[in-house]
Structure 1
């Protein structure tokens, strides 16, 4: 009998010490939300963008008392982990949030490379994960069960600006040069530009993918020598800024500079000043849209005003997508009436709820795909082409999405 009690006693002790055991379940009345993003390194500009979006969601929810579930409100606490702009660090950061911080779910990285590294970790530990930023189609082709994204993949959105330039300006361009960076997002952006250009009858005079952080001068010089009508860049904001500066130094004067993500960020405007004028880009959301909602921010305008009040700058679509990721989690939690801390069963139920989620927000509709090449991606948003005019981005198409006519061709650098 004494031996029996000794065994039971030892079992109880080890139950308290072993992570994940029923006896070690943390007790708290708030949601612990892990956030992995780039707070340092090459992609810190973008990491700051996602942080602003996530922070505004959490602070707004908490200012209202928290997420209301079963008549009680539960606040959220964001716990950040810096991925240092590298995939390997993103994986380590995510594992630490899960195993040491015991987060309930994760808001994911700015960039696609770190997201692709974090996703297998959230699969391993069965932790729900939404990225409010990453756009590479590689993420969704992998069909991760526990990873979702609020922004459509770049292969679905990058064609908007090419469509405007190929069909809706005069004189019509006939040639394009494309330069991309060798990372999961930028490379697919360049490929999307190439695919759209060829489909719309533009001749691709040069298509090149170069290593991140390399000297872009030789590649841009080679494209300049071919005198294309359009110059399209597949990159993040830091490389976009560098490529624009190099183009000016080389007196490279295409009829249009085309970018996808980065041109909408405050860092792009601040770094280039008046030289950002005339640059074209894409978005899936702008502050000028008129989405109506009953959740958190009732209108696009209300979100815009709250963002400007807090950060003193206009939000871009990644900041909006990051805030929307938080909203998706809060509404899925409400659907399953889950209270903190989440059990393993509740985390599984949360995944099912996210797959069934269909809500209208200030950002637009959130409905994650459950089949096909866009698995768990919020693929239904319509892309809009943008251009810098008067120091601000304006919607220039395609079709009835136009608010202002595009300014084309771009004046040479010495005649601006």
Structure 2
């Protein structure tokens, strides 16, 4: 069966993706990944998990093709940078001790292709290289940065990050898009006693469509901490899937989003507790102005043998103006009987009494709103261990609030 016939009545964007695939050197693994995508096509609102993130509609030709340059909050600093851009992949000549990265020309196997068709698309169309594998050993005191800088064209990348037994490091990811379509697939594997801190920064032009899909596999006593900050785009989805494979693993999944008019972000997560005595903590905070659209979808799945699971999920958002929109779907699916699991979801406005109190003390209205909103989302940044990196997120949030409210 040809790839064209796998997608019934393909849209112009899907036709473009088929043409891109046909222009690459094919092998069985690339074919399997692309066919997993093609079997479902671009997600749209009639697909349950994508009803608030209609990629097919977002990729229709825009009335304008102009693009605004996007800045990177983490552009400064001495950390090593691995960069994906229209010029290709680049990396420092000197590698930190205990860190190794390799490039692979041939397409790798992507195990979750059928479950994650957009990540399968990224794996199938990533080229030159098809995948970059980063191996981390020992304790890394300096953060490592991975930068994805997409232009107005289609961009795809596949990155695998492996933390060897007992290794620890901070990974900073910048996901930038100047106005095109990008799909990034990342795979984190943490071996026994490994510790990873992942910081995700997203910024894009208003016309950009961004998909960032991450698979995380945690083994015995591994510790994975993720903090993401997003200001959205025409459509942006940051999806994280975590599997607790062995006992004693811990995961933290925190995020904050600030959205203005015509900006969209979707934080989706699925955490599977397959082993007992594991913990997951998740806090997502958001603030949305008129015309902005936020979405949160979080699910904890606890298998029958995953006793002593401790998992808590919270999503809280502020609707800063009439016309702001936020959709949320927190879920628990539990088959074990000796667990502590909870989820919560709230939406509201800024406290009018607190605003009045601050105005009475001479604080300008915009500054008062910014201070209250920043205080509200601060919990999402609380688990960042490096004060300097946490300050960058907080300063970006402060700048957005002062310029947007």
TM beyond 0.5: no
Bigger proportion of residues as helix: 1
Tell me which of the two structures has the higher relative contact order, counting C-alpha pairs closer than 8 angstroms and 6 or more residues apart: 1
TM-score by length of 2: 0.28
TM-score by length of 1: 0.27
